Structure formats: structure tokens, C-alpha cells
Structure 1
């Protein structure tokens, strides 16, 4: 299948013949079948498909959090699966930001501490002012000392966005970022995410089943039963 990366952008992420199989009760189960595509710097790419189509598995492989049965992923030209686990983790910390459907905030840390954590892991010497700036950017400067259990779902996802962008990632990976939110709050979070992504010039790979959210991306990759059905640039891209 033709790869529809915008030719005017430089390559930042590449999936190469990704195959993922797992053992099931009735034998080996194929989750992804020979998935290949490239993503250019600054692109916004939606990966869409029904439940069970392989979207989240693909995202885990792109992040190097899971290992393919065959094929590979290249992040900024580096083959993730030629690296050992520690080096993959180091590259994730340097190049990737994550936003999850379930927020994935650490409950024992305040909003400020949750945003500071990846900065500290990256060795930043000034994590507190940086984290404060990003929490202010997402409208939570008045909630920095609150723990996740005292924040609404929308506020928790705002903290997650601040945490993801604070490390200035090359690529933001978002897995159903509005899936646990009501429609109005989800729209606010989507607006904020796209605004921040545009301001930062980050590459966005968004997994979603929401066609309206996917339509806001410049490109849509469709999966079904682990296969890549289409890879289409938006008309305005």
C-alpha cells in the first residue's frame, strides 16, 4: 500500500512490516498483519478502527512498550528493537509524550508532582518552574497541589496533557484521550490538545474510534482485523 506521508515533511516515525501474534486459547492469534507507514515531523495522524482492530497494540509497538513478532519501528531514524530495554526507555523519555484514556496519573503525587516526574527522569534541573508553566497553560495553576482523586476527569486529562508536553516530545502518542469524558469536556480537551500540539510543532499520532476527532487530523489510517485498510491525507493537508 502506498504510504501517504506528506512529502514536504521530514520522517520522524516509521512502522516497517509490523506483525504481532499472541498465544490464544485456540492457538496463535494474529493481532497485526504487516503494517507499514511513515509519519513526517509535525503531522497529525489518526489511527481509527473498531474495537479489536489492533489500534492500541499498534500504539504500544510504536512506543516500544511492546515487541513485535516481526518487523520494526524506527523513531527519528533509530530502530527501537535493535536497542535494549533500558535504551528504549531512555529514548521514550527523550522523544515521546503519552496521553491515555484512563489518564494514568500517579495517585500519590500532586498535579505538580505528576508533571514534574518525567522532567526529573530526563534529568532536568528546573522541573518545578517548567511544570508550573505547563499547568498554567492547561488552566490548572490553581490546582497544582491537588491529588488526582480531587480532580475531575477533565482536570486529570489536562494534567496528563501538561505532563506529556512538558518534556517537549518529538511525538505525542494519544490513546482515546477523550474516551472517558463526557461530550462537552471531551471537546474542550480535544481543542486544548490540538492547540498545544500546533503551538509546540509536535507530531501527533492519535488512536480513536471517534470519527469527528479523527477528522481533525491531517491524515487518517484505518485498521480492521489487524490489517491496514487505508492511509489517506486530508484534502487540506
Structure 2
């Protein structure tokens, strides 16, 4: 089995506007090793979130190809890509994306129940304890602070023990101190579960904690380093 859990070859993304074609991503190739932590760093509009969407199979490129966990995404239909994400991938977003009608525990249980896990409640409860929310399991998102909501989102993302975790500006809506705690939590869980961590960020301090950095500028991959 390849040590690379993500391989992208010559990815481009072009969209049509009313005025002209707009190239959002331009001929990007990269590989990401299993168990590593990688930051995709760049200014707003540099193409980093689009790259993440393509790597995760949430969107398809205009040209080029992505292999995710050994599967060529362009050879899968939408349902097959969704199934692959459900089995292999976790997500943490800036906007938390919790369901307001579910408690913290129920939000974390949801992907486990969808996967048919009989231990969903215990697994969710254990994860919420690990992220410091054992006393908040019955609270709804609107009863939680931003930092607490993001911790619930992280517990949910790690619940199914994903091979890859994609995080898009995971600390973007948080104050500096809370963001630092969330960052610590992400890397602790990454280390404990050997999950490949792919972070999109404009924060150079967050990127510096990753084992590798990919620098995006105007849709192009400029450089990488350790």
C-alpha cells in the first residue's frame, strides 16, 4: 500500500462568470503521506479552500485527478464518493455545522449511527470527555460557546476514526486563546489516532505546527517545506 493517502495530479478548476472564465486552481500536483499533518496556507482567494474541496471529493476538478485513500475520485459517482468520505474522512469547518436540534452528544453520535455502530453512544460520550465536555453532553449548540461548539465538531469529526481529517479555518471564528486550545486538541487527536490532518488556514502560526506546508498564491502551488 502506498504511503501517500492523497495524491493530486495536475488539478485545475475553472468557473464561468458572466464576463469571462475564472481560473480558481491552476495545475496543482501534490502528495500527502499517511499520518502526516499538512497546512494549506494562503491569503483569502488564493484557492486553498477550493483545493481542499477537490482533495476531499466534495467538488470535481475541471481537469486533473485525485486519489483519496487509494481510490481515484474521477472514477466514482457521487454516491460512491459520499460513501468513501463516510468511511475514510472527517471534516471540521470554521462554521461548526452542528445540528441545532440535537444535543452535543447526539451531534457526535449521528455519523456513528449512520454507519451502524452499536457503540455510538459510548463512543460519542468518551470523545466528548476527551475534548473536555463531559458536563455539556445534554446541551444544545445554542447553549454552548463558540469554542465548545468547535470541540463538539472536532469530537464528531474524529468519532468514526477517519483516515483523513480535513479542517477549513478551524479556528477562524474563535478568539486567540480558544483557537490555541482547539489547535492543541486537533494535533493531540491527530497524534493519538494517527489521522492524516489537512488544514486550510491563513494563520502562519497554525501552519508552523504542521509537518509540511503547501503555499497557495493565485490558484497556484508555490512551494512546500517541512
Task: Using structure 1 for the length normalisation, give the TM-score.
Answer: 0.93
Q: Is 1:172–2:165 an aligned residue pair?
A: yes
The residue that corresponds to 1:114 in the other structure is 107
Paired residues, number:
225
Q: Is 1:98–2:91 an aligned residue pair?
A: yes
Q: Is 1:189–2:150 an aligned residue pair?
A: no
Q: Distance in 2 between matches of 1:170 and 1:148?
A: 27
**Which of 9, 15, 21 is the matching residue for 2:8?**
15
Q: CA deviation at 1:25?
A: 2.7
Which deviates further from its counterpart, 25-34 or 205-214? 25-34
The residue that corresponds to 2:36 in the other structure is 43
1:154-233 equivalence runs, <5 A? 154-232=147-225
Which deviations, in whole Å up to 9, do the C-alpha atoms of 1:86-111 show, x marking residues without a partner?
11000000000100011111111110
Q: Distance in 1 between matches of 2:112 and 2:80?
A: 17
Q: Distance in 2 between matches of 1:63 and 1:121?
A: 19
Q: Gaps (5+ residues) in structure 2?
A: none
The residue that corresponds to 2:71 in the other structure is 78
The residue that corresponds to 1:33 in the other structure is 26
Which deviations, in whole Å up to 9, do the C-alpha atoms of 1:98-140 show, x marking residues without a partner?
0001111111111011101111122212211111010011010
Q: Distance in 1 between matches of 2:223 and 2:18?
A: 31
Which deviates further from its counterpart, 152-161 or 124-133? 124-133
Q: Gaps (5+ residues) in structure 1?
A: 1-8
Q: Distance in 2 between matches of 1:193 and 1:40?
A: 18
The residue that corresponds to 1:142 in the other structure is 135
Task: Using structure 2 for the length normalisation, give the TM-score.
Answer: 0.98
Which deviations, in whole Å up to 9, do the C-alpha atoms of 1:157-203 show, x marking residues without a partner?
00011001111000000000000000010001101111111111110
Q: CA deviation at 1:147?
A: 0.7
SS in structure 2 of the partner of residue 31 of structure 1: strand
Q: Distance in 2 between matches of 1:36 and 1:59?
A: 13
Q: Distance in 2 between matches of 1:97 and 1:84?
A: 20
